A and B are shown apart, each in its own frame.
Chain A
Amino acid sequence: MKILVALKRVVDYNVRIQVKPDGSGVAVEGAKMSINPFDEIALEEALRLKEADKAEEVIVVSIGPEAAQQQLRTGLAMGADRAILVQSDEAVSPLHAARILHTLVQAEQPGLVLLGKQAIDDDSNQTGQMLAALWGRPQATFASKVALEGETATVTREVDAGLETIAVDLPAVITSDLRLNEPRFVKLPDIMKAKRKPLDIRPLEELGVTPPPACQIVRWRAPEPRQAGHKVETVDELLTALKERGVL
């Protein structure tokens, strides 16, 4: 079985995000870029499944600019077998990304597609579900545990009500939550080895995927800051203040 893992190139989670004063976007030029952390977890899970002999090949895919090769090379260094970059200088919407991934899925016929539950830049949390819909296959989102047995995956999902377990027939799409695993560190010899692994670059235009209609971003702004309140000296003062506010 093949596993396809989607990796998005995003601004590193440690970078402080600031909106440009003219409202045209966020000031992230020259910022450190990384694999979206949730996608990195998805890749780790795929690699563990391969190491447990549940899969033969792990393919990493990214949709993004030429520079997204860096993130794919990191994925190869972690242990993926080959990589595909769908090159696009324009950011794509989640539905557009799902359509692109769907064409790759039809060509590669993976038994499982793993990706992060959301990207930490646009926070959409849509692409995996959309891909599953277009593919007509099951989805298991917010996965914190994945067990493969024959043609079925049993997935524990982190939902608001607690932990939900569902069984899905393969092929399927699984999106990873934070606690699915802890991704491995890349070792230097693996970085060297990764340079020789295949990385296939395909211009987006050649895929023949139509971009869906989208909403336009007209302005960016910073969130309103929260004002500090005041300090109280005693427990009694605290209780009085809470009662005055009507929250007790």
Chain B
Amino acid sequence: MRCLIIAEHDGQNLNTATARAVAAASQLGVEAIDVAVLAHGGQALAEQAAILEGVSQVLLLDREENAHPLAAVLAPQIAALAEGYSHLFMPSTTFGKDVLPRVAALMGLPQISDLMTVKGPHHFERPVYAGNAIIELQCPPEQPVLATVRTASFKPVGTGDAAPIETRALEIDLPGHTRFVALEADAGDRPDLQSAERVVSGGRGLGSEENFRLVEQLADKLHAAVGASRAAVDAGYAPNDLQVGQTGKIIAPELYIALGISGAIQHLTGIKDAGTIVAINKDPDAPIFEVADLGLVGDLFEIVPQLLEKLD
């Protein structure tokens, strides 16, 4: 049995989601874990993939069409590469969710979304109903397993000795019907909310868009990403794409600090896999305290400035 993982990257750097997918693959008990890098000018990316612990070989598919991650362009190449592998994994990020089902349909195979537990090479768990239920799946051993790996469920593997890199050239005509136009990255130098190690989120307790700056200040001090509750987004304090929760982003940072967030079910669903949850709220009965590892009851407009000062 051999597992192939498709690396996620932004053209310069490998996303940590790739190292998390390798961690999931390491639990399968397969003989080899190969990582494929589909990129344009991807030698440095291949080198980053080669040092991930447990990787046997890196396959580099370097061609101009791979400059941007377009599912219609990548899928036929991945389907061809996957030949002979027992497992094909991608991270369950917007990248993996976009691309892998297209590969699966080309291969005529089912796909598992958000694989969260490896119980055996063909035996897995995944969440359904927004994480309110978990299903255990048994897959037919005679056919390849295709899965997106829920990144929050696996810690990224470390680095070690470099595995060999093999450059592959595939003779495949790629479609021109899908074209990249632009990517408008999230504001500033802050880490990406989905993959950040630390996240500071603000809720309705902030009271205004102006006050929401406090959340940003604390985030910047901690090199954290900024998030928001649905209430804060609906009130116009923060933009839509910062929303954390069932209908926004489901995240699992090492540290999550909730400022003025009461903790509606829909928000808690989005953070329940976080490492340490800190809640700061003036209402001692707020539901957020029922899931927080550390709670501090009080006025965030007094507490946050103190934190900022003491973190200097």
Chain A residues close to B by CB (< 8 Å): 11, 16-19, 26, 93-95, 98, 120-134, 136-142, 154, 157-169, 172, 178-179, 212-223, 226, 228-236, 238-239, 241-242, 245, 247-248
Contacts and interface: CB of A to CB of B under 8 A. Distances in A.
Contacts of B129: 11, 17, 26, 120-121, 123
B262 interface: no
A57 B98 CA distance: 28
A136 B306 CA distance: 58
A130 B98 CA distance: 10
A112 B297 CA distance: 52
A133 B241 contact: no
B306 to A, nearest CB: 4
Given A26-B129, A130-B102, A164 B110 contact: no
Nearest to B304: A235
Given A19-B133, A166-B178, A166-B181, A212 B109 contact: yes
B170 interface: no
Contact of B303 (A172, A220, A228, A235): A235
B56 interface: no
Interface string B225-265: 00000000000000011000001100000110000000000
A164 B183 CA distance: 4
A134 B279 CA distance: 47
B113 A126 contact: yes
A222 B134 CA distance: 6
Nearest to B79: A133
B312 to A, nearest CB: 12
11 contacts: A19-B133, A121-B129, A125-B97, A125-B113, A130-B101, A133-B106, A161-B183, A166-B178, A220-B133, A239-B311, A242-B294
B133 A17 contact: yes
B128 A129 contact: no
A200 B109 CA distance: 30
Given A178-B247, A231-B296, A160 B133 contact: no
Given A120-B129, A163-B183, A129 B177 contact: no
A228 B177 contact: no
Contacts of A226: 272, 291
Nearest to A237: B296
Most buried by A among B109, B133, B276: B133
Contacts of B83: none
Given A160-B195, A166-B181, A229 B294 contact: yes
A133 B131 CA distance: 28
Contacts of B106: 133
B186 interface: yes
B138 interface: yes
Nearest to A127: B101
B14 interface: no
Chain A at the B interface: SS class: mixed
Contacts of A229: 277, 292-295
A247 B310 CA distance: 16
Contact of B192 (A123, A140, A161, A213): A161
Contacts of B137: 215-218
Contacts of B103: 133
B246 to A, nearest CB: 8
Contact of A137 (B112, B138, B177, B276): B177
B310 A236 contact: yes
B98 A129 contact: yes
Given A121-B129, A215-B110, A160 B104 contact: no
Contact of A95 (B104, B139, B292): B104
Contacts of A241: 294
Nearest to A20: B133
A167 B179 contact: yes
Contact of A217 (B132, B136, B307): B136
Contacts of B184: 162-165
A40 to B, nearest CB: 13
A93 B111 CA distance: 9
A227 to B, nearest CB: 8
B89 interface: no
B216 interface: no
A230 B278 CA distance: 10
Given A129-B101, A228-B290, 10 more contacts: A17-B130, A125-B101, A130-B104, A136-B175, A137-B177, A138-B175, A179-B240, A215-B112, A223-B134, A238-B294
Given A130-B102, A164-B183, A223 B131 contact: yes
